[in-house]
Amino acid sequence: MAALGGKAAAFSLVCVPECDSTNTRLMAEPPPDDGRVHVFAADVQTAGRGRRGRVWQSWPGASLTFSALWRFAPGAPVPAGLSLVAGLAVARALEGLGVEGVQLKWPNDVLIHGCKLAGILVELMPGRGRTPAAVVGIGINLRLPADAAIDYPTGVTDLAACLPSPPGASALLARVLDELQALFEIYAAAGFPALRGAWQQRNAFADLPVRILGEAESLSGRCAGVDEDGALLLETDTGMRRVLSGEVSLRVVS
């Protein structure tokens, strides 16, 4: 973890050529609570998971795929908004590399000029009597195969298309971990309200007409940003509605 410089001691890193899913690995075999952030990365995942039961497809060298186990202060609830903060950290890491047009699609897809570059899957660890913890799983497309068929309503992109000389996976991982640590520190001290403005600046759908596709109902309105818990605010014909990040998906209405 040389790329993390002086912060390297705060992390432990395991990199494997292949596993089922880096989230699954950390959830199934949580490393000891030794004060470090435990990171598990794989070049290829054979059962990579996305939100809403989707699959994160994998090819060698195509994406940076890793998960980090974050533990919070004993007794602290793992508050809402965590996955939005993870998206913001990825956005800031990309901006630091000079990527232009980085936007966030609620709850936590990272888009470049509308196309998906990265996805995030946050899973809370069952923590009865234990330190609250979350597994933050991140996939960032580095160089997708030309024939990759990934189903996403507005298309997908990769870092090779965004930068003339994109960084390697380990340099990118170090940048994202650095941003995650900085933002999670702010979040632990002051909650999502301290980061809400930064998230909203990058909101891909700010003020646009959108439709939320839920399990049972769909809801249309103007995207009015996010509230202090990270819930999506939707201005509908019948007033402002809050949408929690459960099993819903967001579409812009053309």
According to the binding rule CB under 6 A, does residue 45 interact with ligand BTN?
A: yes
According to the binding rule CB under 6 A, does residue 107 interact with ligand BTN?
A: no
Site for ligand BTN in 12-41 (CB under 6 A): 21-23
* Cis before 107 (ω within 30): yes
Count interface residues toward ligand BTN (CB under 6 A).
20
According to the binding rule CB under 6 A, does residue 245 interact with ligand BTN?
A: no
Q: How far is the CB of 205 from ligand BTN (least distance, A)?
A: 16
According to the binding rule CB under 6 A, does residue 120 interact with ligand BTN?
A: yes
According to the binding rule CB under 6 A, does residue 105 interact with ligand BTN?
A: no
Q: Using an 8 Å Cβ cutoff, are 236 and 221 in contact?
A: yes
CA–CA distances in Å: residue 188 to residues 40, 114, 250: 22, 30, 28
Nearer to ligand BTN, 4 or 156 (CB): 156
Catalytic residue among 51, 71, 92, 105: 51
Q: Among 57, 65, 141, 157, which residue interacts with ligand BTN (rule: CB under 6 A)?
A: 65
Phi-psi region of 207 (alpha: psi -120 to 50; beta: other; left: phi over 0): left
3 state SS for 156-213: ECCHHHHCCCCCCHHHHHHHHHHHHHHHHHHHHHHCCHHHHHHHHHCECCCCCEEEEE
116 catalytic per annotation:
yes
Label the pairing between strands 37-45 and 11-19. Answer: parallel
Q: Among 38, 51, 71, 196, which residue interacts with ligand BTN (rule: CB under 6 A)?
A: 51
Opening angle at CA 38, ends 36 and 41, nearest 5: 150
According to the binding rule CB under 6 A, does residue 54 interact with ligand BTN?
A: yes
According to the binding rule CB under 6 A, does residue 103 interact with ligand BTN?
A: no
Nearer to ligand BTN, 121 or 231 (CB): 121
- The CA distance from 153 to 136, in Å, is 24
242 catalytic per annotation:
no
According to the binding rule CB under 6 A, does residue 136 interact with ligand BTN?
A: no
| Number of helical (H) and strand (E) elements in the chain, helices listed first | 5, 12
Closest CA to 52 of 108, 10, 98, 128: 108
* Region from 89-97, 135-143, 176-184, 213-221 binding ligand BTN, contact rule CB under 6 A: 135-143
What residues form DSSP beta bridges with 239?
236
What does the chain come to in residues? 254
Q: How far is the CB of 74 from ligand BTN (least distance, A)?
A: 26
36 catalytic per annotation:
no
Nearer to ligand BTN, 4 or 118 (CB): 118
- Catalytic positions are 51, 116, 251
Binding site for ligand BTN (CB under 6 A): 21-23, 45, 48-51, 54, 56, 65-67, 109, 119-121, 137-139
